[in-house]
């Protein structure tokens, strides 16, 4: 046998030592023909490890983190032996070429291609394809690796993948059943697409709220590839989709990026045509919303692309689709392997030009707005800085006293004074195009038909006052923060209330059994004015806590929470500390509905919010169990966005109302409001748009999609009027910018408090169709409807959508802890 191998080596003397003879194929390694079974995540990773072992001079695996369920995340670096020896030099050269690292690039003829598989867990053909792609690169396609570094992420979302694969493996028939009604083609709630917290990781690139994204971005920004591909799947009747993308394309996308997408697409088409495989291009998948696996890389200078295979969580190992075709996993992974290799081929063939164009992309001297200046409370500015750091976008502090330009709060030209804490972000920096995408007031839309939201402008999302200036604003490097002073003995301590940091501080105090009060009216003490919502921790309330001052000091230091000492319960201006307007915060027991009927995304956002952001306990109750649940164990019940038709039967609705009347509090979000609108005992009502005019019935068939968009709001930003005296709005001013995700509209409450509502329908950013706008004027955004001793709280707009609208989060915390605080203690 030895001799035989040697003889082979002589025969194939052109091949390097890492030939197919030593590298295990996926089929050999897995013990089944690839595509005839779904491989669990660890099998995929084990295969990559086996290949690394067989070809260590060409493959290097790097562990880049862990998921919430403690699965390891890996990147595989695949290239020629010569490149592998100087991998770090190649990486640094690339950053120098983009101006992201000091120094002159010495060589710029290596292409860097990053292939991301299985970001959606139940689009499961792609991790299978990652194995075959790796194998083929190292066997049939060695030539391409001479001038290409291929970075493979075989499983971006291993928790989701295993949720799907484990479910499928235990559900499927033997042999698999192609009947789409079979249980193996119908995943249960919440399905395998999202990650542990049920977030869609392909909407999270910019916001980076999830650990998978956060850990990946560190490596992404270290490497800054020239090409990035995100492998997906769509419905079982769809053919394959690849680049070029559909309009709208963001205006910063360069001509070269557009052209080269087409060239790549044409190269794929060559292979697909040869086999007679169907595909489509230039439709449906646009490049606008910046948080995708195609747009983010594109706005960071790469050729960012999405490839979509028909299949998805429904397809299993094989399914008979509506066109009478049995779509198999083998077929799905073959297509993904073909486009993956074709992508590497195009990068290799155009390595030099990729480098040249990549370098040009990072020159940003010609952008319209030169500086974005932001001011607001320190916590909000800090959370913005945290976000910018995740993307290694530079920022400084302002030195000017007055800046002018486009004023976000008014939507007009204006000016304001800045203090030394104001943050300045210049667009003339290597990542300036991303700065433009994230900060510009209104994204230019070449087409209103888009796949996603059309507004995300950071000043609105973070609740900061901002100016976009067409001339460069003076700035200086940020000074380090002063340390907090230790607390001295006092009557009590007051904390401000206007940020998530304040909310986390409160949550921690409650968990540690502190008695905390909040004020419903402003007061002055110790020569300081405290606003509504300010937290008060008195020594008298907390005699049960040993070494109370020292313990409070520790918590305050850990949370970097400045506290003001007060020396007496007698205020300079009322209320005094014993006033009924200063109330104890109840240590709320919070429950949430999950499961069938709830939107898994919305439930996941709330779950993640309580567990990972607020750090406050939350009990999850399955909707199936609602009728037998003893609600009296909780103070607050949260209803995520969803369709509760089957949950709130007449009996269950009565049960819910009875619990509220006796002091319970329901927080209903977005679609959950439908369960109460127009029902007996509720003042909540739909606002129906005026009847469409006759003209619409004469719409041509070909224009039907466009006509429909007239009724849509695809994530647009509106100014709302806020009743800042209501506890749900503590910490806010009388103006709040809301992200509207749809056109559902509810009338102003007749019996209840309208905490925030739309007073006019000016669109500050994003797209809203004319018909949809008509119905929006004078409609509810947030409100409270008291019922008996309790309340229904309505949140028409979901402030936790993808968890990126930072400025909306406090409304929810206020709703939990401050609204209708008469609630009993359990």
Q: How far is the CB of 153 from Zn ion (least distance, A)?
A: 14
> For residues 241 and 260, which CB has a smaller minimum distance to Zn ion in the complex?
241
Q: Name which of 243, 237, 235 is nearest 307 in CA terms.
A: 243
User: Closest Cα to residue 344, out of 96, 494, 136?
Assistant: 136
What HEC string does 200-260 produce? Answer: CHHHCCCCCCCHHHHHHHHHHHHHCCCEEEEEEEECCCCCEECCCCEEEECCCCCHHHHHH
Smallest distance from the beta carbon of 249 to Zn ion, in angstroms?
20
Task: Provide the 8-state DSSP code for 664.
Answer: -
Gap between the Cα atoms of 34 and 38, Å rounded: 8
Provide DSSP, 155-166: -S-HHHHHHHHH
Q: Return the number of the residue (120 or 726) whose C-beta is nearest Zn ion.
A: 120
Provide the minimum distance between the beta carbon of 133 and Zn ion in the complex, in angstroms, as a whole number.
18
Choice between 228 and 496, CB closer to Zn ion: 228
The whole-angstrom separation of Cα 300 and Cα 392 is 11
Closest CA to 753 of 795, 785, 797: 785
Rounded CA-CA distance 392/263 in Å is 31
Choice between 172 and 232, CB closer to Zn ion: 232
Half-sphere exposure of 634 (CA within 13 A, CB side): 22
**Nearest distance in Å: CB 366, Zn ion:** 35
Distance from C-alpha of 660 to C-alpha of 637, rounded to nearest angstrom: 10
Farthest-apart Cα atoms in the chain, separation? 97
Q: How far is the CB of 189 from Zn ion (least distance, A)?
A: 18
Spatial separation of the C-alpha atoms in residues 369 and 366, rounded to whole Å: 9
**CB closer to Zn ion out of 52 and 123:** 123
Q: CB 284 → Zn ion: shortest distance, Å?
A: 13
> Measured between alpha carbons, how far is 714 from 736 in angstroms, rounded to an integer?
19
- The minimum distance between CB 739 and Zn ion, in angstroms, equals 23
Outline where DSSP puts E strands in 670-802.
716-722, 735-740, 753-765, 779-787, 790-795
Which two tokens mark 734?
Answer: 């009388």
- Pairing, β 716-722 against β 753-765: antiparallel
Polymer length in residues for the chain: 826
Q: Are 227 and 302 in contact (CB under 8 A)?
A: yes
Q: Which is nearer to Zn ion, 194 or 492 (CB)?
A: 194
∠ CA 228-229-235, rounded to 5°: 155
- Least CB distance to Zn ion at residue 188 (A): 19
Task: State the DSSP string of 295-320.
Answer: HHHHHTTSEEEEEEEE-GGGTTTEEE
- The H-or-E segment that residue 170 falls in is helix 158-171
Residue with the CB atom nearest Zn ion in the bound state: 232
Catalog residues that contact Zn ion under the rule CB under 5 A. Answer: 120, 123, 232
Q: Cβ(169)–Cβ(38) under 8 Å?
A: yes
Q: Which residue number, 288 or 563, has a Cβ lying nearer to Zn ion?
A: 288
Please tell me the distance from the alpha carbon of residue 165 to that of residue 214, in angstroms, as a whole number: 25
CB 298, min distance to Zn ion, A? 17
Identify which of 742, 751, 721 has the alpha carbon closest to the alpha carbon of residue 798: 742
Of 232 and 336, which has the nearer Cβ to Zn ion? 232
How crowded is the C-beta side of 31, counted as CA atoms within 13 Å?
3
3-class DSSP assignment, residue 619: strand
- The answer to whether the CB of 735 falls within 8 A of the CB of 759 is no
Q: How far is the CB of 449 from Zn ion (least distance, A)?
A: 19
Over its C-alpha atoms, the chain yields an Rg (Å, rounded) of 29
Q: Which of 412, 255, 230 is nearest to 336 (CA)?
A: 230
Which residue's CB is nearer to Zn ion, number 120 or number 161? Answer: 120
- Least CB distance from residue 641 to Zn ion, whole Å? 21
Of 235 and 540, the one with the shorter C-beta distance to Zn ion is: 235
Q: For Zn ion, which is the closer residue by CB, 165 or 409? A: 165
* Closer residue to Zn ion, CB minimum distance, 123 or 357: 123
Q: CA 139, CA 755: separation in Å to the nearest integer?
A: 64
Closest by alpha carbon to 152, among 244, 82, 219?
219
Q: In the complex with Zn ion, which residue's Cβ is closer, 123 or 501? A: 123
Q: Tokens for 750, please give them.
A: 């007749």
Q: Of 231 and 659, which has the nearer Cβ to Zn ion?
A: 231
Q: What is the C-alpha to C-alpha distance for residues 509 and 502, in angstroms, rounded to an integer?
A: 11
Angle (nearest 5°) at CA 430 between 429 and 436: 70
Q: How far is the CB of 382 from Zn ion (least distance, A)?
A: 33
For residues 127 and 39, the answer to whether their CB atoms sit within 8 Å is yes
Q: Considering the complex, state which of residue 163 and residue 232 has its C-beta at the smaller distance from Zn ion.
A: 232
For residues 91 and 120, which CB has a smaller minimum distance to Zn ion in the complex? 120
Q: Least distance to Zn ion from the beta carbon of 689, Å?
A: 33
Residue among 232 and 426 whose Cβ is closer to Zn ion: 232
Using CA atoms, how far apart are residues 647 and 596, in angstroms rounded to an integer? 9
> Which residue lies nearer to Zn ion by CB, 296 or 408?
296
Distance separating the N- and C-terminal Cα atoms of the chain: 77
Shortest Å, Cβ 33 to Zn ion = 25
Shortest Cβ distance from residue 48 to Zn ion (Å)? 22
Contacts of residue 699, Cβ cutoff 8 Å, sequence gap at least 6: 707
How many CB atoms within 10 Å of residue 378?
15
CB of 155 to Zn ion, least distance (A): 14
Residue 61: both structure tokens together: 């695996």
């Amino acid at each position: 046998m030895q001799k035989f191998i040697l003889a082979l080596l002589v025969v194939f003397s052109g091949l390097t030592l890492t030939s197919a003879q030593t590298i295990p194929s996926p089929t050999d390694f897995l013990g089944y023909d690839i595509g005839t079974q779904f491989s669990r995540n660890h099998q995929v990773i084990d295969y990559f490890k086996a290949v690394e072992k067989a070809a260590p001079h060409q493959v290097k695996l790097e562990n880049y983190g862990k998921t919430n369920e403690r699965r390891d995340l890996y990147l595989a670096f695949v290239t020629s032996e010569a490149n592998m020896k100087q991998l770090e030099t190649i990486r640094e050269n690339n950053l120098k070429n983009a101006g992201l690292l000091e120094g002159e690039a010495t060589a710029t003829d290596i292409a860097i291609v990053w292939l991301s598989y299985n970001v959606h867990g139940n689009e499961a053909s792609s991790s299978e394809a990652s194995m075959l792609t790796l194998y083929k690169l190292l066997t049939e396609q060695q030539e391409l690796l001479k001038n290409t570094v291929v970075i493979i992420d075989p499983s971006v979302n291993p928790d989701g993948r295993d949720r799907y694969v484990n479910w499928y493996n235990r559900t499927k028939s033997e042999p698999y059943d192609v009947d789409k009604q079979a249980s193996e083609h119908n995943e249960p709630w919440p399905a395998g697409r999202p990650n542990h917290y049920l977030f869609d990781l392909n909407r999270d690139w910019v916001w980076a709220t999830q650990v998978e994204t956060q850990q990946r971005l560190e490596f992404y920004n270290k490497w800054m590839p020239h090409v990035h591909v995100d492998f997906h799947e769509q419905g079982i009747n769809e053919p394959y989709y690849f680049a070029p993308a559909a309009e709208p394309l963001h205006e910063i996308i360069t001509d070269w990026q557009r052209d080269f997408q087409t060239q790549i697409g044409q190269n794929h088409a060559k292979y697909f045509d040869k086999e007679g495989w169907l595909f489509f291009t230039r439709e449906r998948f646009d490049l606008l919303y910046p948080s995708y696996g195609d747009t983010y890389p594109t706005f960071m200078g790469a050729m960012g692309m999405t490839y979509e295979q028909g299949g998805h969580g429904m397809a299993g190992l094989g399914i008979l689709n509506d066109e009478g075709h049995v779509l198999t996993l083998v077929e799905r992974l073959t297509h993904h392997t073909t486009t993956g290799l074709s992508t590497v081929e195009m990068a290799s063939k155009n390595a030099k030009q990729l480098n040249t164009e990549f370098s040009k992309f990072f020159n940003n001297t010609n952008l319209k707005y030169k500086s974005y200046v932001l001011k607001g409370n320190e916590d909000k500015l800090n959370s913005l800085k945290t976000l910018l750091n995740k993307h290694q976008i530079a920022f400084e502090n302002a030195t000017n006293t007055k800046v002018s330009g486009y004023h976000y709060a008014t939507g007009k030209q204006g000016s304001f004074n800045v203090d030394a804490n104001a943050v300045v972000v210049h667009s003339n920096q290597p990542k300036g195009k991303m700065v433009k995408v994230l900060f510009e007031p209104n994204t230019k839309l070449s087409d209103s038909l888009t796949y996603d939201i059309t507004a995300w402008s950071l000043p609105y999302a973070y609740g900061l006052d901002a100016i976009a200036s067409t001339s460069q604003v003076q700035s200086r490097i940020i000074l380090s923060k002063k340390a907090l002073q230790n607390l001295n003995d006092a009557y009590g301590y007051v904390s401000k209330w206007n940020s998530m940091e304040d909310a986390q501080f409160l949550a921690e105090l409650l968990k540690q059994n502190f008695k905390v009060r909040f004020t419903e009216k402003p007061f002055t003490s110790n020569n300081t004015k405290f606003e509504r919502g300010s937290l008060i921790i008195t020594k008298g309330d907390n005699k049960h806590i040993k070494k109370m001052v020292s313990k409070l000091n520790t918590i305050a230091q850990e949370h970097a929470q400045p506290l003001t000492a007060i020396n007496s319960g007698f205020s300079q201006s009322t209320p005094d500390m014993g006033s009924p307007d200063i109330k104890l915060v109840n240590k709320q027991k919070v429950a949430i509905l999950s499961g069938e009927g709830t939107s898994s995304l919305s439930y996941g956002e709330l779950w993640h919010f309580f567990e990972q952001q607020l750090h406050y306990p939350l009990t999850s109750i399955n909707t199936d169990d609602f009728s037998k649940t003893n609600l009296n164990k909780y103070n607050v019940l949260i209803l995520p966005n969803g369709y509760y038709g089957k949950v709130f039967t007449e009996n269950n609705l009565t049960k819910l109302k009875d619990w509220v009347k006796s002091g319970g509090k329901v927080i209903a979000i977005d679609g959950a409001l439908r369960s109460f609108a127009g029902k007996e005992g509720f003042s909540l009502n739909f606002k129906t748009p005026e009847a469409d005019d006759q003209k619409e019935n004469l719409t041509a068939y070909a224009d039907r999609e466009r006509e429909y968009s007239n009724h849509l709001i695809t994530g647009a930003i509106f100014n709302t009027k806020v009743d800042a005296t209501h506890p749900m709005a503590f910490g806010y001013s009388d103006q709040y910018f809301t992200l509207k995700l749809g056109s559902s509209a509810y009338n102003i409450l007749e019996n209840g408090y309208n905490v925030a509502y739309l007073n006019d329908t000016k669109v500050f950013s994003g797209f809203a169709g004319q018909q949809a706008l008509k119905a929006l004027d004078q409609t509810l955004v947030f409100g409270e409807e008291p019922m008996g001793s309790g309340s229904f709280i309505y949140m028409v707009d979901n402030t936790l959508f993808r968890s990126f609208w930072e400025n909306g989060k406090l409304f929810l915390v206020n709703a939990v802890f401050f609204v209708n605080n008469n609630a009993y203690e359990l």
